[in-house]
């Protein structure tokens, strides 16, 4: 995930840029969540295990997945689960690197507010270009129950520069 | 309370506007006269003691109190229902409510039962008519995720709506209008049953109150949205039949099936679509906030209907009854799904304008239709009600078949 190709904006110093996809990108979002505790407290509990999948973000275009465990107002754990592992997450949000990149760039351009057609719900609603999958409709619905918190979590990426591999 | 400035003399009411209590008051008087023996005795005892300046202090007798043996502690989130329900004495929800009084589960109450009134309207005495295994966590989540329609929506951006092309503005106002028409049934329905649930099932009652608060906020936010950006437009007669089914369902579980699983499931899909097709950031915010609440209501409905079927002593008969109810509920829901006040504004928004409403727009609505039916069937599967063979809703939209 390492090679630096493009910067989404010129907000931060070069050493602060974070590659995508990478665990450090999600860890950075988790740290921002902690820093903005009051904001997340206002949104309310977020209790779920979410897999964020870049369908072609792994070696040789294979899937790359970060598993993020949300608990109340913070992230307990971020881990690389390769192309998936058991137990299954509550849900998985998946999209190609190109889709993730367009979304992250839109968030950056909007200073944390993505364009109308670049929210996680917009992109996944018709199952393309993103998709939300789960083996249980109740657990899939957690994506909706915590949608504002999850959007806020991803939108946190406007606080730093992202570089794409 | 409008027009208070006109003066009281102008606010004349005919007798039929607010009827007098009449015979109902006479019945009430007779009823309390009959029970005076009990409450009059309490009054006399307490009055006599107070006249002598004595205190009873019986409430300091902790015999029968569980506190010393069952201490609870807050968890990282504060003190949740799950924390206080950890000791059996407080947390065990009886299968059958032991009485129709108000006294709290886990309090020292047995010795007072014969001096308390019965609430005859508490008729849902079996927990499994209303219980859901996730109801405590849903209550806590609901309380934690409350928001304010007045200030949590960026209303200062309302000019963005005013400036929208007319077709888009009217379509978004019509969507908001139909939502104002349907939202509050989801408060009326729990209100109807809440009153019949005894106090020992307090967690269910508390969750229902959060749902009612959520729906009040939904009514509020869509009313505000319509009025600030396009006005309240047309009512939807087709929808009102579904609302009537929700209110008149023969038992709580059937009402919950229709409201929380079928209708709220559908509204959740519409809210997700609303977020997707929102023409402004303000609208996006509204739909993101409301869809979260709706997903909670769906979650209660799924787990409640599941619990009802799982625990029913005659599961086969209960399942067949629910199928019979769903046969009608689905057909009435079909009436709503074909309402022009719903389908057409969605088509305009999905198409990106009236020009493309019949092409790209209806294609989009057809996709929503597929999604709605397949998610409904998945939720039915989840509760153990296999509707695949029996579902009377067309799997694809009529124009896409
Ligand atoms: Fe609602
Ligand atoms: Fe609802």
For residue B1, the model assigns a pLDDT of 40
Contacts of B77 in chain A (CB under 8 A): 45, 72
- Residue B127's pLDDT band (cuts 50, 70, 90): very high
CB A63 within 8 A of CB A115: no
Pairing of strands A74-80, A91-95: unpaired
For residue B83, the model assigns a pLDDT of 97
- Residue B66's pLDDT band (cuts 50, 70, 90): confident
What is the mean pLDDT of the segment spanning A45-49?
96
Does the structure show a pLDDT above 60 at B165? yes
Pairing of strands A48-54, A162-164: unpaired
Chain B residue at shortest CA distance from A138? B299
Cβ of residue A47 closer than 8 Å to a chain B Cβ? yes
Closest C-alpha to B186, from B296, B327, B305, B346: B296
Helix (H/G/I), strand (E/B), else coil: B392: coil
- Residue B236's pLDDT band (cuts 50, 70, 90): very high
pLDDT tens by residue, B370-399:
999 999 999 999 999 999 999 999 999 999
Q: What are the tokens at B122?
A: 């508490």
Does the structure show a pLDDT above 90 at B90? yes
Å from CA of B253 to ligand 1 middle: 19
Q: What are the tokens at B343?
A: 């389908």
CB B335 within 8 A of CB B345: no
Domains of chain A, by residue range, sit at: 20-159
For residue B25, the model assigns a pLDDT of 94
**Does B288 contact A47 at a Cβ distance shorter than 8 Å?**
no
**Could you count the other beta carbons within 10 Å of the beta carbon of residue B48?**
10
- DSSP for B64-124 reads T--TTT-----BTTBS-HHHHTSSHHHH---SB-S-SS-PPTTSS-GGGGGGS---TT---
Taking the C-alpha atoms of residue B365 and residue B252, their distance in angstroms, rounded to an integer, is: 32
Pairing of strands A64-71, A48-54: antiparallel
Does the structure show a pLDDT above 80 at B270? yes
- Residue A6's pLDDT band (cuts 50, 70, 90): very low
**Does A145 contact B289 at a Cβ distance shorter than 8 Å?**
no
Q: What is the CATH number of domain B127-400?
A: 1.10.620.20
| DSSP element (H, E) containing A131 | strand A131-133
For residue B176, the model assigns a pLDDT of 97
Most B CBs within 10 A among A74, A133, A137, A149, hence the mutation to make, goes to A137
CATH class (in words) of the domain with range A20-159: alpha beta
Taking the C-alpha atoms of residue A16 and residue A157, their distance in angstroms, rounded to an integer, is: 12
Closest C-alpha to B135, from B219, B215, B209, B217: B209
Report how far apart, in Å, the C-alpha atoms of B28 and of each of B25, B31, B102 are.
5, 5, 20
Cα angle B334, B340, B343 (rounded to 5 degrees) comes to: 70
Helix (H/G/I), strand (E/B), else coil: A103: helix
Contacts of B364 in chain A (CB under 8 A): 126
Give me the interface pTM, i.e. the ipTM: 0.89
- Peptide bond before residue B159 is cis, with ω within 30 degrees of 0: no
Calculate how close chain A gets to B271, using CA atoms only, in Å.
10
For residue B8, the model assigns a pLDDT of 52
């Amino acid at each position: 995930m390492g090679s630096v190709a493009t910067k989404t904006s010129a907000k931060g110093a070069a050493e602060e840029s974070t590659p995508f996809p990478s665990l450090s990108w999600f860890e950075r979002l988790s740290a921002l969540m902690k820093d903005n505790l009051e904001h997340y407290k206002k949104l309310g509990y977020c209790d779920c295990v979410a897999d964020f999948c870049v369908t072609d973000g792994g070696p040789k275009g294979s899937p790359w997945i970060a598993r993020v465990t949300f608990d109340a107002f913070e992230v307990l754990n971020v881990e690389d689960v390769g192309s998936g592992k058991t137990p299954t997450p509550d849900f998985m949000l998946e999209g190609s690197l190109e889709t993730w990149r367009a979304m992250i760039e839109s968030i950056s351009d909007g200073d944390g507010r993505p364009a109308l057609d670049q929210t996680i719900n917009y992109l996944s609603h018709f199952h393309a270009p993103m998709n939300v999958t789960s083996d249980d409709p109740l657990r899939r619905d957690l994506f909706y129950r915590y949608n504002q918190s999850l959007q806020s979590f991803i939108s946190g990426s406007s606080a730093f520069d992202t570089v794409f591999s | 309370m409008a027009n208070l400035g006109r003066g009281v003399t102008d606010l004349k009411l005919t007798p039929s506007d607010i009827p007098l209590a009449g015979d109902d008051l006479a019945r009430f008087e007779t009823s309390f006269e009959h029970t005076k023996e009990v409450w009059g005795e309490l009054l006399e005892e307490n009055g006599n003691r107070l006249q002598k300046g004595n205190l009873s202090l019986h409430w300091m007798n902790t015999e029968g109190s569980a506190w010393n043996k069952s201490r609870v502690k807050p968890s990282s989130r504060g003190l949740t229902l799950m924390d206080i329900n950890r000791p059996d004495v407080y947390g065990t929800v009886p299968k059958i409510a032991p009485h129709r009084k108000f006294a709290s589960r886990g309090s020292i109450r047995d010795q007072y039962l014969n001096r308390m009134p019965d609430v005859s309207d508490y008729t849902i005495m079996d927990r499994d008519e209303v219980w859901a295994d996730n109801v405590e966590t849903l209550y806590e989540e609901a309380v934690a995720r409350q928001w304010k329609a007045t200030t949590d929506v960026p209303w200062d951006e309302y000019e963005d709506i005013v400036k929208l092309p007319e077709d888009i503005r009217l379509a978004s106002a019509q969507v908001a209008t139909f939502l104002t028409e349907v939202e509050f049934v989801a408060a009326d329905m729990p209100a109807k049953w809440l009153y019949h649930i005894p106090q020992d099932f307090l967690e269910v009652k508390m969750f229902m109150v959060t749902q009612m608060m959520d729906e009040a906020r939904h009514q509020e936010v869509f009313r505000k949205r319509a009025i600030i950006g396009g006005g309240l437009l047309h009512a939807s007669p087709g929808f009102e039949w579904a609302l009537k089914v929700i209110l008149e369902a023969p038992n709580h579980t059937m009402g919950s099936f229709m409201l929380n699983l079928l209708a709220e499931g559908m509204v959740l899909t519409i809210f997700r679509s609303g977020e997707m097709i929102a023409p402004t950031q303000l609208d996006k915010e509204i739909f993101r906030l409301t869809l979260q609440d709706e997903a909670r209501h769906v979650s209660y409905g799924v787990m409640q209907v599941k619990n009802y079927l799982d625990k029913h002593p005659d599961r086969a008969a209960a399942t067949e009854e629910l199928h019979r109810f769903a046969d009608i509920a689905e057909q009435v829901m079909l009436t709503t799904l074909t309402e022009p006040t719903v389908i057409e504004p969605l088509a305009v928004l999905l198409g990106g304008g009236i020009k493309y409403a019949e092409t790209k727009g209806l294609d989009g609505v057809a996709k929503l239709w597929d999604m709605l039916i397949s998610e409904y069937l998945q939720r039915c599967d989840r509760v153990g009600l296999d509707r695949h063979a029996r579902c009377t809703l067309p799997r694809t939209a009529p124009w896409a078949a």
